[in-house]
Amino acid sequence: MRRLRVFATVLALLGLAAPLLPAQAAGPGDGVRVPSFWDPKRRPERPDLGRLGLIRFLTEEDYPPFNFKGADNNPTGFNVDLARAICEELKVACTVQVRRFDTLLDALNENRGDAVVASLAITPQTRAKADFTDRYYRTPARFVARTDLDLVDLKPETVIGRSVAVVAGTAHEAYLRAFFTETSLKPFPSLEAAEEALKAKQVDLLFGDGIQLAFWLNGTTSANCCAFRGGVFYESRYFGEGVGIAVRKGNEPLRRAFDWALQKLWEKGVYTDLYLRYFPIGFF
């Protein structure tokens, strides 16, 4: 049910039949900060494009707006469109195959594909199974509060005694228990339940995934009850290093080619166009 609700919200907000929004265009992307993960002083080595053959990308289709089944039943989403843009930049043919998320790395290592592009977090556990490109996005953790709560600067010392909703068993709960020790944590079985508790004033704050919360805040189910408060939280020990494209261990030519293409897409504005299409609402 949660996935269906998020999917419907995403489609409504994105207007997926519309063309890509240019980075400077007026519209939903106005005021959205597009993050950059590429150092302009660092110049990745140009790959030997002559050695690149067909690239088989692996993804899944149950995580909108990153990967999902389009109206034509083909995979689409931010990750998929970015993969296709990479192939265009590299001038190579590509395919996109859909598998269950929990089978993607095994399929990669069994040579059923060449790369995984499916919001796979870069962590010590995933690094043990695959090599990764430079990260191309990160999901910040954020606090959300009701709009009638006069609280802006959220730090451990400013939320002492406040009740905070969080999804039980998540990295977000572990982070709060480690660093916000004097808050009153209220674990919930799902993000939807935590959101409803915040709407109903059963808790003061909600802490969770910034992307999911951004779509909720800008969707109809929030009823304009709430807003982000405070800054972003990136602690890699809890929330990972970010998301990259996975390749088989030792496949340096392909990894370097992807890194080169990703930086080129950023420099040309292609990444920004894709980002503003799929994330027309800010979560930073």
Domain that holds residue 209: 141-239
Residue 26 belongs to some domain of the structure: yes
DSSP letter at 71 equals T
Cis peptide before 65 (omega within 30 of 0): yes
Paired tokens of 177 = 């228990």
pLDDT of residue 282: 74
**pLDDT tens-digit profile of 111-132?**
999 999 999 999 899 999 999 9
Q: Are residues 67 and 196 in the same domain?
A: no
pLDDT of residue 54: 94
Cis peptide before 280 (omega within 30 of 0): no
Q: Are residues 134 and 219 in the same domain?
A: no
pLDDT of residue 66: 94
Q: Are residues 17 and 131 in the same domain?
A: yes
Q: Cα separations (Å) of 94 from 85, 88, 260?
A: 10, 9, 17
Contacts of 81 (CB under 8 A, 6+ apart): 274, 278
pLDDT of residue 20: 34
CA 261/CA 114 separation, integer angstroms? 16
Paired tokens of 169 = 């068993």
Structure-token match 């994330």, residue found: 279
Q: Are residues 132 and 249 in the same domain?
A: yes
Q: Are residues 115 and 211 in the same domain?
A: no
Positive or negative, the CA dihedral 6, 7, 10, 12 is: negative
Residue 283 belongs to some domain of the structure: no
Show the low-confidence residues of the chain (pLDDT under 70): 1-31, 284
Q: Are residues 31 and 123 in the same domain?
A: yes
pLDDT of residue 27: 37
pLDDT of residue 13: 46
Q: In what order do the strands lie in the sheet with 62-63?
A: 62-63, 67-69, 75-76
pTM: 0.79
Residue 32 belongs to some domain of the structure: yes
pLDDT of residue 259: 95
CA 128/CA 188 separation, integer angstroms? 32
Give the N- to C-terminal CA distance of the chain in Å, as an integer: 27
Paired tokens of 14 = 């994105």
Q: Is 121 helix (H, G, I), strand (E, B) or coil?
A: strand
CA 139/CA 63 separation, integer angstroms? 14
